[in-house]
Structure 1
Amino acid sequence: MASSPKIIVFDDDPTGSQTLRGCPLLLEFSTASLQAGLTDPSPLLFLLTNSRALELEQVRQQLTALCQRLKPLLAQLERPWLVVSRGDSTLRGHTPLELEVIRSELGPFAANLLVPAFPQGGRTTSAGVHLLDGKPLHHSAFALDRRFGYPSSDLPQWLEHKTAGAIPADSVTRLKPADSLAELKMGQWAVLDASSPNDLDVIGEQVIAELAFGRKHLCQSAASLLNGLSGMPSVPLKPTELPSIAAPGLVLVGSHVPLTDAQLVDLLEQPGCCGVEFSLDEPQELSALTAQLQQLLNTGVTPVLFSSRGERPGYSPAKQRELALQMAQVVMALEPPLGYVIAKGGTTSLTFLQQGLQLQQVRLVGQLLPGLSLVQPSVSHPRFGRLAVVTFPGNLGEASTLRRCWQLLEAARR
């Protein structure tokens, strides 16, 4: 519908479309790409900035340039629009910098709405406190993150901590899903409770309704709010909706969180998988790694290329990107055909799509399992065609989820 709003999502990690389907995900931001994305019939347009993997000044420069390129295109858009900064449901990221840049370059906006609930992954918010499986999130391993750690799950207190007191906790409004947004002031922060997808639908409907009164709120949210804003339900793909997979695939594991470690151990216990370890600290010939993967593929075994688990301490964003790039280069040297790739970790996913396959955009097919996006090149890749790629967040699922993902793709291939 021409009158429905276009929702532009700045995604700080390439896995944030994890409750949706059928929309474009941009990997580069030329004027032509942005224009094509804005005119796509989907209500959603994702801009995969991967800003969580960048340093503060890099984030500021990247978002400022992107917003300045986007602004004149939004002025020409013949429909209302909203901006969402899609952030991590476990509270890791550059808050409030991203909203500050977007507000400065694309405003005016009304209030800042913080909605990190992601019920599909067990992340809920109650009385302003963010929870994981019913327990305060600051008791989890995610709160110990080297770059983005925090001492409190109380979201107003979390904002005060993140801003070194610039946003006092007592200035932040706590709201329930059905509470009115009309009294919020320009620039005010509000945190919204949500414990179910229906709560996110209620919030999304309210934000859309506010547009009719000239109040365009700026949201920072996890993926689930996007369902409420777009009216698109979160439904995993049926087996009949999976793309045709005619060749063997492989798994890339670059994420370095404890949950990923457990998932990797579980996957490597499967007789149809074989691990190939990769380390930056011990130089390896990339061609030798490619040969190992190729040999496994030729024998019908799924290669699992994983970064050394002992390298987690002191792992810098630059080193993460270098690791992801070299892993992508190993895969790109394989001989086609290749049926699928499961990329575990945000930087691993984006680097493979952007610098490995060198794609400018991908099309989101839908969710293989709750929270696991399956994407394909919008235009057939010259070597690997319509390669199916699963972008698998590092922080999602249970110990068995990576194995279940692999089993579903193998079943589709057979």
Structure 2
Amino acid sequence: MSVPPVPHREPVTLAELTRDLPPGRPVDPADLAATVATARRLVVLDDDPTGTQSIADLPVLTTWSVQDLRWALQQDTAGFFVLTNSRSLTPEDAADRNREIVHALAEAAAAEGVQYAIASRSDSTLRGHFPLETDVLAAELAGLGSPVDGVLVVPAYLEPGRITIDSVHWTRTAEGMVPVAQSEFARDATFGYHESDLRSWVQEKTDNRIAAGDVAAITLDHLRVGGPDRVQEVLGALTGGVPVVVDAVTDDDLRVLVQAVVAAEARGRTFLYRVGPSFVRARAGQQARPAIDAERLHAIVRDARQAAERTPEPQDPRPAAPHGLIVVGSHVGLTTRQLDALRSRGHIVELELEVPTLLDEQTAPAHLADIVDRAVELLADASSADDVVIRTSRTLVTGRDAQHSLHISRTVSAASVAVVRAIAARIRPAFVVAKGGITSSDTAALGLSVVRAWSRGTLLPGIVSLWEPVAGPAQGIPYVVFAGNVGDDDALVDVLDTLRTLSPGSPA
């Protein structure tokens, strides 16, 4: 069976796109939560930190020692996240990291007597190491005695308008809904692509190893008309790790899918999930929660600081800053517009990491030292109402090929991390916001030395995660994971308005 190409489409409204779909099939979230509570534990290998945007109150690890994995498995939750940051790695390093995590997870799960299911969480606009990561995971699981029957490809992320209909993935833009290959994300220097039909996208990404016609599909008719029983029939026919692409427009679509997946797994089937954030929410038995407001934020911070006071750590000698730190690494157009809106609002001081200077080994050290000194001075200035923005140059510097572009990205990210680490060694910001996927990961794990944390919810509906680090130098500091490709132009302003209520004398 051949798959016809997706024609170029002018933007359409969501209502136009979904007008003729069959009605949805409601699923009681409480019933689904009870179902997943007895299912295999969900372990989300997140290739950057933004997968936590869909959930609340799940553990997050930035390392994968057996000890840390056992801690996460011991928590009374339906699952947890392991931050791999693999999207920032070369294919070889990403493969090695996935292998390492699977073997540590198998050891930890055996010690705790827990069965698990793995989600390879990646970008909802289809950027990342696919099929490499799922190929590696499938091979390692097979070697551990758990051959994979199918790979569920479910990139949907409902809040920012990433949906799939008739296997075609769509994204919301300022002009309307467009097939995802027509978006700026498809032109990514490292992970670009040309196909919007997920079956053809699998063929493209596997270099024709898997033909589009051989990719299975779970459609909205399966989900909404046939229901879990019909979806189980499709899942039951999967063998040998074949990909199956899944439609999703609403949370109920994903809940029906999870009902079928959990039932199939209970009968001994094994699946890998290559997914965006919304599937994770359904598979964890959660539903969308209201965004964290100022009152809830203050309660989270108060509880975190009280917990920090009870830990047997030496007293923190660092002064508490009255201002927050915002680290901007993403270069997508949306991030630039959000930064422009923040400038218009005011009450920020910007410090620029000049990319050409960072790429020169002779000039980089002095440049970084100057940024650190200035940032600490500004953060400590109680007479000011300004938060500090550290950002990379807005002119994107690309390499001669995808791997060179990735090298440049990693060099710039390493410089950003070094700055954050040096700042955090001298002062405690009132909060830290990291803008961009790789930036968020590196800032948490390397800049702030976060090893274990809880993702407490989001600061905007379904997007922008708030983490509570549970140990180390970031304990008690609200940490905000803000993807580069989500929110409207005012989203960064809105997040800062809430966070600034933590700062005495803030403009919020």
Task: Please give the alpha-carbon distance, in whole angstroms, between the structure 1 residues aligned to 2:475 and 2:242.
Answer: 48
Matches of 2:87 and 2:232, distance apart in 1: 29
Q: Mapping of 1:3-14 within 5 angstroms?
A: 3-14=38-49
CA–CA separation in structure 2 for the residues paired with 1:63 and 1:337 = 33
Which residue of 85, 95, 109 maps to 1:50?
85
**2:351 matched residue in structure 1:** 276
The equivalent of 2:501 in structure 1 is 411
Determine whether 1:145 maps to 2:188. Answer: yes
Secondary structure of the structure 2 residue equivalent to 1:396 = coil
Partner of 1:161: 204
Q: Secondary structure at the match of 1:17?
A: helix
Which residue pairs with 2:54 in the alignment?
19
Which residue does the alignment assign to 2:232?
181
Map of 2:162 onto structure 1: 123
Distance 1:189 1:330 in 2: 42
Q: Distance in 1 between matches of 2:161 and 2:110?
A: 38
Q: How far, CA to CA, are the matches of 2:68 and 2:108 in structure 1?
A: 11
Partner SS state of residue 174, structure 1: strand
- How far, CA to CA, are the matches of 1:340 and 1:325 in structure 2? 21
Is 1:300 the counterpart of 2:385? The answer is yes
Q: Describe the superposition over 1:287-329 as per-residue Cα deviations: whole angstroms up to 9, x where unpaired.
A: 2212322333312211111100113322732332332232233
* Residues 379-390 of structure 1 mapped to structure 2, 5 A cutoff: 379=471, 381-382=472-473, 384-390=474-480
Cα distance, 1:76 vs. partner?
A: 4.3
In structure 1, C-alpha distance between the alignment counterparts of 2:164 and 2:187, rounded to whole Å: 19
Aligned to 2:433: 342
Tell whether the 8 Å contact from 1:111 to 1:184 is kept in structure 2 after alignment.
Answer: no
**Inter-partner Cα distance in structure 2 for 1:147 and 1:281:** 20
Rounded to whole Å, the distance in 2 between the matches of 1:296 and 1:142 is: 35
**Residues 1:254 and 2:305 are matched in the alignment:** no
Deviation at 1:79, TM superposition (A): 4.1
Matched letter for residue 341 of structure 1: V
Partner of 2:3: none
The more displaced of 122-131 and 40-49 is 40-49
TM-score of the superposition, structure 1-length normalised? 0.94
User: How much does 1:103 deviate?
Assistant: 1.1
The whole-number CA distance in structure 1 between the counterparts of 2:104 and 2:420 is: 33
**In 2: Cα distance, 1:108 partner to 1:371 partner:** 34
Give, as a single letter, the amino acid of the residue that structure 2 aligns with 1:189: P
Using the TM superposition, name which of 246-255 and 4-13 deviates more.
246-255
CA distance in 2, matches of 1:238, 1:201: 27
Mapped partners of 2:168, 2:44: distance in 1: 25
Q: Name the residue aligned to 2:132.
A: 97
Q: Give distance in 2, aligned partners of 1:132 and 1:323.
A: 29
The Cα shift of 1:239 comes to 3.1
Q: Which runs of 5+ in 2 are unaligned?
A: 1-33, 303-319, 358-362
Q: Per-residue CA shift, 1:261-291, capped at 9, x if unaligned?
A: 1111111222211221111312352222123
Give SS of 2:38's match. coil
Q: Could you tell me how far 1:46 is from its partner in structure 2?
A: 0.8
Contact 1:204 1:226 in 2 (8 A): no
Could you list the runs of 5+ residues in structure 1 that have no partner in the other structure? Answer: none
Task: Give the partner amino acid of 1:325.
Answer: A
Q: Is the 8 A contact 1:201 1:227 kept in 2?
A: no
- Greater shift after overlay, 78-87 or 119-128? 78-87
Which letter does structure 2 place at the counterpart of 1:146? A
The number of residues matched between the two structures is 412
The one-letter code matched in structure 1 to 2:196 is S
Provide the TM-score with structure 2 as the length reference.
Answer: 0.77
- Mean CA deviation greater in 291-300 or 97-106: 291-300
Structure 2 Cα separation of the partners of residues 13 and 62 of structure 1 = 13
5 Å matches for 1:306-317?
306-314=391-399, 316-317=405-406
73-82 or 164-173, which deviates more: 73-82
Q: CA deviation at 1:225?
A: 0.5
How far is 1:188 from its partner?
A: 2.0
Structure 1 residues 385 and 46 mapped into 2: Cα distance closer, same or farther (>3 Å)?
Answer: closer
Task: Please say if residues 160 and 167 of structure 1, whose CA atoms lie closer than 8 Å, have aligned partners that are also in contact.
Answer: yes
SS at match of 1:333: helix
Conserved? CA contact 2:429–2:477, under 8 Å: yes
* Letter in structure 1 aligned against 2:470: S
Q: State the secondary structure of the residue aligned to 1:267.
A: helix
SS in 1 for 2:94: helix
Q: Which structure has the bigger radius of gyration?
A: 2
Supply the distance in 2 between the matched residues of 1:326 and 1:313 (Cα, whole angstroms): 17
Letter in 2 for 1:165: N
Q: Distance in 2 between matches of 1:217 and 1:413?
A: 46
Partner SS state of residue 375, structure 1 = strand
Cα–Cα, structure 1 residues 385 and 225, in superposed 2: closer, same or farther, change >3 Å?
Answer: closer
Match of 2:31 in 1: none
Cα shift at 1:59: 1.1
Residue number in structure 2 paired with 1:378: 470
Please report how far the alpha carbon of residue 77 of structure 1 lies from its aligned counterpart in structure 2 after TM superposition: 4.2
**1 or 2, which has the higher helix percentage?**
2
| Separation in structure 1 between the aligned mates of residue 294 and residue 39 of structure 2, nearest angstrom | 31
Structure 2 partner of 1:265: 340
Counterpart Cα distance in 1 of 2:50 and 2:479: 11
* Cα distance change on mapping 1:333 and 1:80 into 2, 3 Å: closer
User: Partners in 2 of 1:127 and 1:405 — Cα distance?
Assistant: 35
Give the counterpart letter for 1:250 in structure 2.
Answer: L
Question: SS at the partner of 1:368?
Answer: strand
1:260 positional shift: 1.2
Residue aligned with 1:95, SS: coil
Per-residue deviation, 1:333: 3.1
